[in-house]
Structure 1
Amino acid sequence: MIIVDAHQHYWQPSRGDYGWLADAPASLRRSFLPVDLLAERKAAGVTFSVLVQAAPTEQETRYLFELARHDPAVIGVVGWVDMEADDVGARIDALIHAGDGLLCGLRPMVQDMADPDWLAKPSLDRAFDCIQERCLSFDALVGMPHLSALCRRLRRHPQLKVVLDHAGKPAIGDGRFDQWTAWIDELSQHPPLHCKLSGLLTLLGEPMHEDAIEPYVADLFAHFGAARLIWGSDWPVLTTHASFSHWLTVALNLTERYAPGSQADVFAANAARFYARDIAAAKTRLNMPAAS
């Protein structure tokens, strides 16, 4: 089975634009580059990946394009753009040109913003118009404080192709299930919205067992179904709690439990469709048989 990791990162701290790393676990404050993932990804049986921004600069997005050109498994890049810039359309066009087919979406780092209503600001309307006009996707990196603003944004842009990163970061450690599932219920009413089955293990508090994520996964399948869930590793953030292969196995087992027979969709087809990636062409680039 072809597996697409729809959410992984590379970063190089010496570039100087990863401000959030200062407060991250010490194990993450080093470079994570293709050479660090290649063997682990191959051993887990993951064929392709979508590379997601980790710094709020357009320069980092261009850096990811360069890394992607040296990692043939990368089939797309979700980048960053200054969405409040007056020339946001020209900036997006410049990134599309620089990516030469790699740019498939954009992601502001909303979780790090002090204003929980930022996503709903009317001043962002032009940026979201441009994202839709360029047929790009929007990755919503939000936590529960931002879900209300996200719902308001979706009412203003009902055709926006959006994916909720890490299931909206439920407060698993605090056990606040009801509040989170109420937001998921509202968000799931937006047909174009997909949700990433990613980042859940890193939300566990100590000494919680990983089984604590199961009610959340069950709720995601109940609300979105197998057709709108997309698996991602969130590597290397994942490494603070589990190995690449372990999270993949956990996610495969949970998918088979709550949506039997849908693994090909959750672990490949949904990501390819959502991000408009040509898997057949990617196979050819890797010299893989077309039917594999």
Structure 2
Amino acid sequence: MIVDAHQHFWDLETGEYPWLTPDSGVLYRTYGPEDLVPELRTVGVDRTVLVQAADSYAETDALLAHADAHPFIAGVVGWIDLTDPAEAAAALDRYRTRPKFVGVRHLIHDEPDPDWLVREGVLESLGLLAAAGLPFDVVSLLPRHLDHVVTVAERHPGLKLVVDHLSKPRIKDHAWEPWATQIAAAAACPNVFAKVSGLVTEADHERWTVEDLRPYVEYAVERFGPERLMFGSDWPVALLAADYATVWHVTHALLGGPGAEQVFGGTAVRFYGLDQEIHPPS
């Protein structure tokens, strides 16, 4: 089973996405299953993991409704309020009855506080995720975010964490440090995984090449191994730099060797606890 472990939908008429503005170009429109299904069919992706793009229960509920209506969506990474452990516990009680609720994410990179992830209330709520067997997606941007991944991983060794987009290395600038040292420190924690996703949008949108991406991907393979890496398209955000098929073919060119079956499906199935039935996109 081939899994795209990171894609989004949003509806500008019913949802609120503060980061989406008329200046967002191709992203400033509604994207739904009908837009993605032809892309999945073209490249042969069987299932996807649908990831939240707004910090709201309304967003989580909308994504779960999509998942209920479309079997190709294997799981939803939704949002709950992690700042209040009591509220987080109540939300987990609600959502754990939904089989396709497979993880939690918060847009920490949009938080003014760079230390949001290590607030005591958030850390306590992350412990609740660990107890519930639900993983946490970390959308990190600042170097301190990766430092905090290590803090969380060590405090909650039973919590599975995945660093989205390899923590957004500055590919356009061909920058290596401090990203390399910090991603290696995160990878040294056995409960930390990473998504090879969102890289084309960290490169030069107009002039990126496969070789621009290669050193970052190869380093991730060296540090995490294929058994802790998973492919994600980051569609439709990726459209800022490339279409779905291009992202797929480039990632496969970089990761299509030994262990490819893990990166393109097996890791996501294990990490999120996805069922392994194949439901062709329709």
Fold match, TM over 0.5? yes
Q: Is the 8 A contact 1:7 1:51 kept in 2?
A: yes
Counterpart residue number, 1:264: 261
* TM-score, normalised with respect to structure 1: 0.91
Counterpart residue number, 2:173: 174
Counterpart residue number, 1:69: 68
Change (3 A) 1:206 1:41: closer
Change (3 A) 1:154 1:23: farther
**Number of residue pairs matched?**
278
Task: Tell me the alpha carbon deviations over residues 257-291 of structure 1, each in whole angstroms, 9 at most, x when there is no partner.
Answer: xxx33211110111101101111xx23x659xxxx
Give the AA of the match of 2:270: R
2:192 is aligned with 1:197: no
Q: Is the 8 A contact 1:80 1:107 kept in 2?
A: yes
Q: Secondary structure at the match of 2:172?
A: helix
* Aligned-pair CA distance for 1:207: 5.2
Cα distance in structure 2, aligned partners of 1:104 and 1:63: 15
* TM-score, normalised with respect to structure 2: 0.94
Q: Is the 8 A contact 1:65 1:77 kept in 2?
A: yes
More helix by share: 1
Change (3 A) 1:206 1:267: closer
Farther-moved stretch of structure 1 (207-216 vs 121-130): 207-216
2:105 is aligned with 1:107: yes
Matches within 5 A, 1:182-221: 182-205=181-204, 208-210=207-209, 211-221=211-221
Task: Tell me the alpha carbon deviations over residues 137-187 of structure 1, each in whole angstroms, 9 at most, x when there is no partner.
Answer: 100011133212222222221221011000011111222212100001100
Cα distance in structure 2, aligned partners of 1:254 and 1:24: 32
Change (3 A) 1:206 1:277: closer
Task: Tell me the alpha carbon deviations over residues 67-112 of structure 1, each in whole angstroms, 9 at most, x when there is no partner.
Answer: 1112110010000011112321011211223xx2010000010111
* Aligned-pair CA distance for 1:23: 7.1
Q: Secondary structure at the match of 1:106?
A: strand
2:84 is aligned with 1:87: no
Counterpart residue number, 1:141: 139
Which of these residues, 271, 275, 279, is aligned with residue 278 of structure 1? Answer: 275
* Aligned-pair CA distance for 1:245: 1.1
Change (3 A) 1:206 1:132: closer
Cα distance in structure 2, aligned partners of 1:206 and 1:74: 28
Q: Secondary structure at the match of 1:215?
A: helix
Task: Tell me the alpha carbon deviations over residues 214-244 of structure 1, each in whole angstroms, 9 at most, x when there is no partner.
Answer: 1101110110111111001001001111111
Cα distance in structure 2, aligned partners of 1:24 and 1:265: 37
Gaps of 5+ in 2: none
Task: Tell me the alpha carbon deviations over residues 52-81 of structure 1, each in whole angstroms, 9 at most, x when there is no partner.
Answer: 001110111011111111211001000001
Q: Secondary structure at the match of 1:111?
A: helix
Gaps of 5+ in 1: 288-292
Q: Is the 8 A contact 2:76 2:103 kept in 1?
A: yes
What value does the CA root-mean-square deviation take over the aligned residues? 1.6
Change (3 A) 1:47 1:60: same
2:248 is aligned with 1:248: yes
Give the AA of the match of 2:247: W
Change (3 A) 1:163 1:42: same
Cα distance in structure 2, aligned partners of 1:267 and 1:16: 30
Q: Is the 8 A contact 2:4 2:233 kept in 1?
A: yes
User: Relative contact order (alpha carbons < 8 A, sep ≥ 6): 1 or 2 greater?
Assistant: 2
2:11 is aligned with 1:12: yes
Cα distance in structure 2, aligned partners of 1:34 and 1:101: 19
Cα distance in structure 2, aligned partners of 1:190 and 1:144: 19
Cα distance in structure 2, aligned partners of 1:273 and 1:22: 36
Give the AA of the match of 1:156: R
Runs of 4+ off more than 6 Å: none
Cα distance in structure 2, aligned partners of 1:141 and 1:24: 22
Q: Secondary structure at the match of 1:278?
A: coil
Q: Is the 8 A contact 2:109 2:142 kept in 1?
A: no
